[in-house]
Each structure stands twice: as C-alpha cells, then as structure tokens.
C-alpha cells in the first residue's frame, strides 16, 4: 500500500513538471513570438460605416452624422506633464468634455503590450473639429480619425419600428467581431433585427513599424464593406400623420398592404431614440420608466390585448370548419345565456338582446350570444386549433425582434399553466375574445388580411436588404367559400349598414371599407350589476380597450388598417374616426388611384 502511494505521488509530481515545461518552452513561446511580431507588424481594423435605413420614397429614417474620433498615444504615464498637457489642449478645444471619464478610459485600455492608439473620444461633430484640427494635428500624442454617429431624423415617430443602436455589452462583443471593434450594436427594432446586415464587414490594414512604433511600410490593406442599406415599405409621411392624429392617446395603429408590406406602424406613447446612441442619462431613463403608459414598450409586437369582438369572424370560420352548416343556424338572443342548471348569466353586450340572429347579423351587430352557442358546440380545443391556423395566438414572423406569440387557450394549455381543468364557461368567454385570450395588434392586422383575401401573409417592413429583394411569404388557407362570403358581407355591414357598429364613422368615405369593432374589457362586471356604467364614466384604467380592424376597398382589398386605443371605450366611436382620417389621407395621396386635386379635398375631409 505504501509503495502504491509513493508511485501515485511520483506520477503526480512528474505530470506537474511536464505541464510546467510545456507552458514555459512551447505555449509561452507562441505568446512571446506573437508579441515580438507585433513590435514589427501591426494590424488595425477598418470600421465599416453602418448602412442607412430609408422609407419607400427614399426618405432617410436612420442616417450617419459625419465627424471625428480622437485617440491618444499608448504608454503615456497618467498625470505626466505630456499626458496632462494633451488633456488641457483637448479641454480648451471642445466643450463639455469629461476629463475624469477620459482618464478612466485611457487607464483601462493602457497596457505594456498594447501598441495601438487608445480611443478616448468617440465622436466630435465635423464643424467643431474643423476649427481646431490644424492645432491638434501638431500633437504627436493625438490621432484623429473619421467617425460616424447614428442619427434618427424622425425621432419619436419611428422609435418602435427603427429602434436604436447603443453601446455594446460583453455578450454583444463575444458574438460579433464587428461589434467588438465598432463598440455599438442594434438594441431594438429593425436596427437589432437587421444588425448583421447594417453593420457591414470589417476591413483591415497591416503595417510594418520600427522600434519607435512609427509606420515604415503598409503590408496589406482590405477595404471594409460598408453602406449595406435597408429600404422599407413604410411611408414616413403616413406614419407622422397617424401619430399626430392620435392626439396623445395610448394606442397602436397598423396600416398594411394585403400582401404583408407594412406602410405604417405606430405605437404610442413613444420616445426619442437619439437619447440612446451615446447612452441615456439616468434622469431621462427614470422619466421613461415611470410613465404608466409604458412608452418604451414596443406595443406592435410586445403588448398583448384581449381581442374582444374582432375574434368573432374567426370563431364563425372555425365553427364552419368543425361543424359544417351549424354556423348558419340562427340563434335567439335575449341578452344572455345560462349553461346547464347554473344561474350564472353569460351576458350579451346588449342588455335587451338582439332577437333572432343569423351569421351576417351576428357580425354586423356583434351579438355575443350567437358566438357563445357556436363555441360551446365545437369546444375549446377545436376553436383554439382553428384560430391558431388563421394567425391568432401565434407569431406573425414580422421582422421585429423578440415578437410575443400571445395566447389562444385550450385544455392542455390551462392544465400546463395552472394545473386546473377547463370549464365550459371559459369556452364561452374565449368565444368573444375575453378571458385568457391575448393577441398582438400585428396578429389582428395579419388575420384581417386573411379575412380579406384568404391568404395568411407574413407582415414585413423590409423591401430591399442590401439591394436584395425581401422574399414575401403567404399561405392559402381553405375555408367554405360561401361562409367566407357571408363573413365578409357582415364586415361590410359593420361599416356601411345603419345598424353596423362602425357605420357612423366609416360609411361616408371615398372608398368602401369593411371591418369589425371590438370592446375588450379590462375589468369584470359583477352578476348583480343590471345596467352597465358607461365607459366614459369609468376611471381611465378601468375603461375597456377600443378595437377596430378594417380592410379596403371592399371588393378588391388592398389595405388593412387595424387600431387599438387603450382604455378608449367603444371601438366604433373611438377608433372609427381615426380609421376614417387614415383612409381619407391615403385616398388623397393616391393609394386608391390618382392623387386628389386640391379643390376636391373639402369633399374628403
């Protein structure tokens, strides 16, 4: 046993000695050989210029300001006369320099093995540098290079679509060599989604230097691949018009071609993305974070809402698919239903009821009882499956990062989430877009395009990506054509029949619009409440969300307009006038044909 222990000990000692020998003679040799080579050859990367983002008409939505960066010679002693003199000259040349931060940056990057100049100022405006450039070039401790700074000309109007770039963190740097050199990365919106395209590719330059670190000869030069631009389907003038028309309301508005091209996508309230380019101040950040309406949340894809009555066309199609002609069976609405022997009333929005209701009338007047009975007949699992099929509760595939998929519940989902059984009463609630139902406005826009054309498309902003066309995706989904036509006629009635829930706002337009309103409750109503309080009399955060989703023209659908106004009350009265303004503007600008002549505008507005 003693000999065994001695043998093991000797083997361990020899293993340590061999490992140390390898470290000294072989591994460290590579390290010092590389350092020696760097004393002769130096490689520097050439940063690419970030690609610009343009709208459909060539307007710049994200551009680059031209300026300069300032770097300092390596190996200077902190607080030496040479170092301090350099800082004093910089301080007298430019306003608002933070010398403490500059010292920290220099100290952090200073190393005996670093022979490259250390960047201490990322960006100085072109005009500011021009005044002092001759003086600064006389200093051998300073190196001035061309630099760019991201700029968003339309600020708050496009922050949730374009996003912004910001300082890269360790994770960003580890993933991407370009980000490591540039120090900036797309943090939100299209800037993040298309970051790999927009950032370009690094160039490089290898030079021979002498013992004084002076360049003797250029050995290799590879140009950076820059200006990989992104062209969008978005119309910035339409975007601005919608944003201003909302008058400060917390809302989401999407205008989309039935092919999936997004013409406008507004999420309010918003923020100025230019605040994030150099790093936002704690004061500004607290201001954004403390706003109860969440301006920093991209409500296009990150906010989920109960769809309310906008879901009813989908419930009708699901019933037709699962139970054939049962969707055509009339229902009698007396203002509520009961399930089995329960005394609980599942109420229709109309206290008096709608009387005899067929499919077309159920959409026109948004009768809840009609859909309660249809959903109970086919069951929640079939309903959930078919609503997923037509784009609800699933990701749309839009080119924005981290899209939420929402929820269209079923028995399995509830069992997994809450470890509880499903109840018939929950099927009833799900059939009118309440309860667990949660969708994004982007999903509703896509679903509306499907109702208009029969094709489920992929919404997208990009049309040209580095001069390559975006590949559009769509899928034909078959449903009973006769039922589909009745559903569309019901949507026509919503906007054009006097009993339609959006008639007042949308019947008198220069084009024929079809659509559906929705009122998504955010607070439940007790059973003993016989007469509901008017939405306008409720406190703001207890009011229902106001939905309206539409397409036009009715006979040859080209465009979808989907709107939700948070805590706006009724879809027809709140969202309807907004949609009407949008369609009038689009008509005037030639989206439905020739641009209107100025003397005809009074008939449109």
User: What does the pLDDT look like over 203-249, one tens digit per residue?
Assistant: 988 888 776 667 778 888 898 888 899 999 999 999 999 999 999 99
Q: Give the Cα separation of 446 and 322 in Å (integer).
A: 22
Q: Where are the alpha helices (DSSP H) in 292-367?
A: 312-323, 359-364
Given this model, what pLDDT does residue 543 score?
80
Q: What would the two tokens of residue 189 be?
A: 């919106």
d(CA 566, CA 486): 30
Q: Pick the residue with more confidence: 141 or 21?
A: 141
118 and 106 in contact (C-beta within 8 Å)? yes
pLDDT for position 35:
52
CATH architecture of 66-149: 2-Layer Sandwich (3.30)
pLDDT, one tens digit per residue, over 243-257 is 999 999 999 999 999
Q: Give percent of the chain with pLDDT exceeding 70.
A: 91
**Backbone Cα Rg of the chain:** 32
* Separation of first and last alpha carbons in the chain: 101
For residue range 416-428, list pLDDT tens digits in order. Answer: 999 999 999 999 9
pLDDT at position 526: 47
- Tally Cβ neighbours within 10 Å of residue 502: 31
pLDDT computed for residue 529 by the predictor: 45
Domains 66-149 and 236-268+300-604 share a fold: no
423 vs 111, which has greater pLDDT? 423
pLDDT one-digit tens code per residue, 543-581: 889 999 999 999 999 999 999 999 988 889 999 999 999
Average pLDDT of every residue of the chain: 89
Q: Which two tokens stand for residue 484?
A: 């589909």
Q: Is 259 helix (H, G, I), strand (E, B) or coil?
A: coil
Q: For 480-532, how does the pLDDT look when each residue is reduced to its tens digit (9 = 90+)? A: 999 999 999 999 999 999 999 999 999 999 999 999 999 987 755 445 444 55
Domain ranges of the chain: 66-149, 236-268+300-604
Residue 411 binned pLDDT confidence (cut-offs 50, 70, 90): very high
Instruction: Assess whether pLDDT exceeds 60 at residue 38.
Output: no
- Which overall architecture, per CATH, does domain 236-268+300-604 show? 3-Layer(aba) Sandwich (3.40)
CA-CA distance, 436 to 233, in Å (whole number)?
A: 34
Does residue 1 surpass a pLDDT of 80?
A: no
Annotate 381-431 with three-state secondary structure: HHHHHHHHHCCCCCCCCCCCCCCCCCECCCHHHHHHHHCCCCCHHHHHHHC
Backbone angles phi, psi at 33, to 5 degrees: -65, -40
Percentage, residues of the chain above pLDDT 90: 61
Distance CA 300, CA 289 (A): 18
CA–CA dist 448, 437 (Å, integer): 17
Q: Which one, of 536, 582, 568, lies nearest residue 244 by Cα?
A: 582
pLDDT of residue 32: 58
248 burial via Cβ count (<10 Å: 0-12, 13-18, 19+): exposed
Buried b (16+ CB within 10 A) or exposed e, 424-442: ebbbbbbbbbbbbbbbbbb
Token code pair at residue 509:
């337009």
Q: Is the pLDDT of residue 262 over 80?
A: yes
Query: Any idea what DSSP says for residue 365?
Result: T
- Asked if 49 and 138 touch (Cβ cutoff 8 Å), the reply is no
Strand pairing of 118-125 and 251-257? unpaired
Residue 604: is its pLDDT beyond 70? no
pLDDT band per the 50, 70, 90 thresholds, residue 54: very high
Lowest mean pLDDT among 67-71, 280-284, 458-462: 280-284
Q: pLDDT tens digit string along 296-316? A: 999 999 999 999 999 999 999
Distance of alpha carbon 440 from alpha carbon 490, whole angstroms:
23
| Bridge partners, residue 110, by sequence | none
Q: Higher model confidence: residue 130 or residue 542?
A: 130
Q: Which residues are paired to 221 by β-bridges? A: 205
Torsion of CA 144, 167, 442, 423, to 10 degrees: 180
- How large is the average pLDDT for residues 186-192? 96
Phi, psi of 429 (to 5 degrees): -65, -40
């Amino acid at each position: 046993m003693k000999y065994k222990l001695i043998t093991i000990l000797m083997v361990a000692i020899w293993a340590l000695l061999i490992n140390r020998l390898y470290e000294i003679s072989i591994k460290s040799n590579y390290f010092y050989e590389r350092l020696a080579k760097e004393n002769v050859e130096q490689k520097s990367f050439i940063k690419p210029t970030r690609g610009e983002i343009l709208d459909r008409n060539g307007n710049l939505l994200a551009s680059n300001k031209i300026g300069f960066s300032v770097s300092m010679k390596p190996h200077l002693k902190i607080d030496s006369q040479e170092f301090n003199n350099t800082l004093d000259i910089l301080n007298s040349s430019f306003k608002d320099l933070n010398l403490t931060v500059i010292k920290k940056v220099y100290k952090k990057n200073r190393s005996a093995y670093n022979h490259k100049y250390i960047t201490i100022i990322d960006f100085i405006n072109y005009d500011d540098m021009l005044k002092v450039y001759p003086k600064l070039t006389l200093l051998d401790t300073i190196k001035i290079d061309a630099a760019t700074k991201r700029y968003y000309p339309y600020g708050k109007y496009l922050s949730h679509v374009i996003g912004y770039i910001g300082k890269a963190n360790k994770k960003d740097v580890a993933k991407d060599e370009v980000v490591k050199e540039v120090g900036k990365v797309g943090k939100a919106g299209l800037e993040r989604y298309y970051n790999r395209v927009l950032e370009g590719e690094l160039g490089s330059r290898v030079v021979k230097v002498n013992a004084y670190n002076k360049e003797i000869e250029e050995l290799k030069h590879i140009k950076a691949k820059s200006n990989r631009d992104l062209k969008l389907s978005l119309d910035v003038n339409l975007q601005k018009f919608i944003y201003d028309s909302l008058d400060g309301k917390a809302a989401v508005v999407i205008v989309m071609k039935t092919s999936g091209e997004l013409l406008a996508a507004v999420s309010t309230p918003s923020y100025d993305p230019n605040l994030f380019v150099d790093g936002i101040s704690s004061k500004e950040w607290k201001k954004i974070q403390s706003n109860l309406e969440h301006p920093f949340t991209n409500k296009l894809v990150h906010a989920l809402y109960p769809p309310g009555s906008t879901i009813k066309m989908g419930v009708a199609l699901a019933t037709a698919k699962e139970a054939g002609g049962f969707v055509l069976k009339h229902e009698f609405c007396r203002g509520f239903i009961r399930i089995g022997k329960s005394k609980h009333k599942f109420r229709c929005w109309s206290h008096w009821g709608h009387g005899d209701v067929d499919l077309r009338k159920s959409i026109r007047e948004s009768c809840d009882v009609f859909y309660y009975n249809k959903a109970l007949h086919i069951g929640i699992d079939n309903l959930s499956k078919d609503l997923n099929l037509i784009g609800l509760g699933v990701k749309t595939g839009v080119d924005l990062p981290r899209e939420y998929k929402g929820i269209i519940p079923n028995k399995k989902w509830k069992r997994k989430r809450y470890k509880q059984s499903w109840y018939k009463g929950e099927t009833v609630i799900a059939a009118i877009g309440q309860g667990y139902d949660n969708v994004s406005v982007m999903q509703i826009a896509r679903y509306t395009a499907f109702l208009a054309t029969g094709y489920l498309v992929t919404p997208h902003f990009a049309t040209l990506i580095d001069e390559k066309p975006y590949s559009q995706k769509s899928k034909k989904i078959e449903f009973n054509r006769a039922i589909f036509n009745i559903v569309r006629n019901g949507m026509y009635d919503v906007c054009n029949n006097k009993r339609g829930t959006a008639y007042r706002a949308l019947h008198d337009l220069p084009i024929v619009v079809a659509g559906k309103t929705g009122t998504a409750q955010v607070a439940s109503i007790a059973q003993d409440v016989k007469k509901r309080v008017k939405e306008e009399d409720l406190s703001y955060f207890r009011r229902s969300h106001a939905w309206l989703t539409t397409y036009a023209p009715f006979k040859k659908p080209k465009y979808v307009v989907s709107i939700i106004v948070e805590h706006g009350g009724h879809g027809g009265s709140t969202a309807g006038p907004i949609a009407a303004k949008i369609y009038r503007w689009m008509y005037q600008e030639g989206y439905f044909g020739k641009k209107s002549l100025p003397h005809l505008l009074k008939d449109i507005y």
